[in-house]
Chain A
Amino acid sequence: MKVLAAMSGGVDSAVAAARAAEAGHDVTGIHLALSRNPASYRSGARGCCTIEDANDARRAADVIGIPFYVWDLSERFHADVVEDFMDEYAAGRTPNPCLRCNERIKFAAVLDRALALGFDAVATGHYAQLRTGTDGLVEMHRAADAGKDQSYVLGVLDQQQLAHSLFPLGDTPKPAVRVEAERRGLLVADKPDSHDICFVADGDNAGWLREKLGDRAPNHGGAIVDDATGEELGRHDGTFGFTIGQRKGLRLGVPAPDGRPRFVLDIEPVEGTVRVGPRERLAVSALEADRPRWCGTVPRVLEGPAVTVQLRAHGAEHRARVEVHDGDRVRVELLEHASGIAPGQAAVFYDGTRVVGSATITATTRVAA
């Protein structure tokens, strides 16, 4: 096959490209430039957007012995991922830009262009496993290395996208990938893992949003109130700086009467109010979600002992029952309650290790009224 390997400059995508080449595929490496002004995105070894990362990817391609190019996806990335990220926070939701990037950039813009250019598949360094099911459809399963499993951020991929994807690392534990990189002479072998959001340079989400949102921010401050009593406990400088379930950074000064920590329970962007309360008020028993994406056939109901939902990257699995209404509305009953769930986050549905699909959370039902 002619394979396009997306190379971030990190160790995983480098080994993935090397494995694809060793498997006999005709591999071409590409690095996605996601910013026109690379210095503005995070520097060092953690993102996917710096000159250093592009050079690391190029050197890895040299070592593997494959052609290498840089594709400029900066406009698409800004429009589809960064703008969406800002809009979602402005609306009081908590988006996951990595899923969005996979859905709109890596396995859409890049895959479409690759197919048009005559490639058969796109290979990435994601940790997830693909296999062909009994019905002939491509199934995506969790990675063998549970600690590195990235099937959650790939839950937005549909059958067409999966059929043209390769995840060569899915069966391998991360430490073995580093050892293999070393053996292959890939200089990125000891590069640290990437974390956080690649376009937020210093990891300071709230600071980044404050600077970038400007007039688009729904508010530039407001009250932090006790959800039970309505008492104003403090002030904040923008609801976009908060996420449901957040405990740190509330700077309330006054402790709760019972001395227990307070958590963000609700964000009201229009009023500019952040409601806080005790942890048990975060417990969620059901979810509403929209914009479902299914990896294979569209289900009507998902139920059974192996059916679970995962609600954040590297989050826990919760046993669940999932109903799909009118094709685009999803209701999730959490048989095991979840905590601190924010609208905007992705709910990814599993049947055992198999990813069934995903949807974007729009509302939650709290256990305690």
Chain B
Amino acid sequence: MTATPVYLDHAATTPMVPAAIETMTRQLADVGNPSSLHASGRHARRVVEEAREQIAHALGCRPGEVVFTSGGTEADNLAVKGIFWSRRSADPRRVRVLATAVEHHAVLDPVHWLGEHEGAEVELLAVDGEGRVDLDALRATIERDPASVALVSVMWGNNEVGTLQPVAEVVALAAPHGIPVHSDAVQALGAVPLDFAASGLDAMTVTGHKVGGPYGVGALLVRRQVEVTALVHGGGQERDIRSGTIDTPAIAGFATAVAHAVEHQPAHAERVAALRDRLVAGLLAAVPEAVLNGDPVERLPGNAHLSFPGCEGDSLLMLLDARGIECSTGSACSAGVPQASHVLLAMGHPDDEARSSLRFSLGHTSTDADVDAVLEAIGPVVARARAARL
């Protein structure tokens, strides 16, 4: 076991960048509720608004379009439920919610909740074998009755298999009908270029802890014209869409991280993709039966998601963990019980194959030594896991 772990789970969370730690800790020592009218309050408000402007500048939106939330899950819930409610209340025919079958649970679960409790008609969009949304199916689904679509939600980059979605094409299909499109860009931020205005999206989710910022803070970017019904009621601090005392230090750290991630995105993506490519090539050489999942090219630069036929993903994870190598099976857990990934199932993998996968996700602290450690361990680990198949 190595002294410090080989951390290859950056898609779960990535270490904070030093600049964000510095910004955030500086704010932690200051008093002031941004909603207070006195000098301390005004100071805090200024920090928050500068952070908002910094994020807006980095992501190509207007400051007023940044709604701070407690993170990606809240932002996704706000987009899905909030836009659905507003759209339906403006026109009761709008009851259809379209989302890809490979969305994160933070989108899928509110979508299904709307179906179960709010009378929404949920239509999950099929994906191809690489996890990319079927645009023809989307077109047909919309054109069947455009006036009844409340919203479309298509993630930017898949958190499990890393496939990038054709967001521009999705917008091009929905926009002519005036249908709002939301995209969960939690994994894409800092990994690929993002420009909210140019994307034509109506709403986009980002979060702090995936880009070197703190946990517990994120944002929904929402175009000003889009009405969003509030989920959390109270003081109406964030555009009356989201209430709760504004977390000045977290927002300041988040903004620093976003600015840093966007500024360094091209170099970061190139460096991490090179490491990732070496990792994937080495894994496929060491385990010839292994299969890379997701689009081999149009994918998040740090994502390496592979199936190891004949192995249980959780055996592999445990054996690697015992060697100090930290990765993920990539799928959601319920009470720690690994479920077969809904993403792989939607991509057409059979259930047991869907349980044989591992996700290595590289980030800003990843090194060649990390890749070497995995390549050294994987052969014996796969051999053991194969023998241990239940």
Binding site for B on A (CB under 8 A): 28, 31, 33, 36, 38, 50-51, 54-55, 58, 67, 69-74, 76, 109, 112-113, 116-118
Residues of A near B319 (CB, < 8 A) are: 117-118
Contact of B336 among A54, A76, A113, A117 (CB under 8 A): A54
Question: Does B337 reach chain A (CB closer than 8 Å)?
Answer: yes
Question: Does B227 reach chain A (CB closer than 8 Å)?
Answer: no
Q: Across the interface, do A117 and B390 meet the contact criterion of CB distance under 8 Å? A: no
Q: Across the interface, do A116 and B388 meet the contact criterion of CB distance under 8 Å? A: yes
Question: Does B318 reach chain A (CB closer than 8 Å)?
Answer: yes
Residues of A near B335 (CB, < 8 A) are: 33, 38, 50-51, 54-55, 70
Residues of A near B336 (CB, < 8 A) are: 31, 33, 54, 58, 69-70
Residues of B near A109 (CB, < 8 A) are: 390
Residues of A near B387 (CB, < 8 A) are: 116-117
B304-342 vs A: 1/0 string, CB under 8 Å? 000000000011011101100000000001111111000
What are 26 A-to-B residue pairs whose CB atoms are below 8 Å? A28-B318, A33-B336, A33-B337, A38-B334, A38-B337, A54-B336, A67-B322, A69-B314, A69-B317, A69-B336, A70-B335, A70-B337, A71-B314, A72-B314, A72-B338, A73-B390, A74-B337, A112-B390, A113-B315, A116-B387, A116-B389, A117-B318, A117-B319, A117-B384, A118-B319, A118-B384
Report the interface size class on chain B. 20 to 34
**C-alpha gap A313/B339 in the complex (Å):** 35
Residues of B near A73 (CB, < 8 A) are: 390
Q: Across the interface, do A76 and B384 meet the contact criterion of CB distance under 8 Å? A: no
Q: How far apart are B326's CB and chain A's nearest CB, in angstroms?
A: 11
The 10 A-B pairs of least Cβ separation, nearest first, read: A70-B336, A116-B388, A51-B335, A116-B387, A33-B337, A117-B388, A113-B388, A54-B335, A72-B337, A38-B335
Residues of B near A71 (CB, < 8 A) are: 314
B349-390 vs A: 1/0 string, CB under 8 Å? 000000000000000000000000000000000001101111
CB-based nearest A residue for B385:
A117
Q: How far apart are A117's CB and chain B's nearest CB, in angstroms?
A: 5
CB-based nearest A residue for B319:
A117
Q: How far apart are B348's CB and chain A's nearest CB, in angstroms?
A: 22
Given pairs A54-B335, A70-B337, A71-B314, 16 additional interface contacts (CB within 8 A): A28-B318, A28-B322, A36-B337, A36-B339, A38-B337, A67-B322, A69-B314, A69-B317, A73-B390, A112-B390, A113-B315, A113-B390, A117-B315, A117-B318, A117-B387, A118-B384
> Most chain-B Cβ atoms within 10 A of its Cβ — which of A38, A58, A67, A116?
A116
> Most chain-A Cβ atoms within 10 A of its Cβ — which of B318, B321, B337, B338?
B337
Contact of B318 among A31, A38, A69, A112 (CB under 8 A): A69
Residues of A near B338 (CB, < 8 A) are: 70, 72
Residues of A near B314 (CB, < 8 A) are: 69, 71-72
Q: How far apart are B9's CB and chain A's nearest CB, in angstroms?
A: 15
Residues of A near B315 (CB, < 8 A) are: 113, 117
Residues of B near A28 (CB, < 8 A) are: 318, 322
**C-alpha gap A116/B318 in the complex (Å):** 13
**C-alpha gap A50/B336 in the complex (Å):** 11
CB-based nearest A residue for B336:
A70
CB-based nearest B residue for A74:
B337
CB-based nearest A residue for B334:
A38
Q: Across the interface, do B384 and A67 meet the contact criterion of CB distance under 8 Å? A: no
Residues of B near A55 (CB, < 8 A) are: 335
**C-alpha gap A297/B305 in the complex (Å):** 50
**C-alpha gap A43/B338 in the complex (Å):** 20
Q: How far apart are B333's CB and chain A's nearest CB, in angstroms?
A: 8
Q: Across the interface, do B337 and A116 meet the contact criterion of CB distance under 8 Å? A: no
CB-based nearest B residue for A52:
B335
Residues of B near A118 (CB, < 8 A) are: 319, 384
CB-based nearest B residue for A70:
B336
Q: How far apart are A253's CB and chain B's nearest CB, in angstroms?
A: 46
**C-alpha gap A72/B339 in the complex (Å):** 9
Q: How far apart are A283's CB and chain B's nearest CB, in angstroms?
A: 44
**C-alpha gap A117/B314 in the complex (Å):** 11
CB-based nearest B residue for A75:
B390
Q: How far apart are B62's CB and chain A's nearest CB, in angstroms?
A: 43
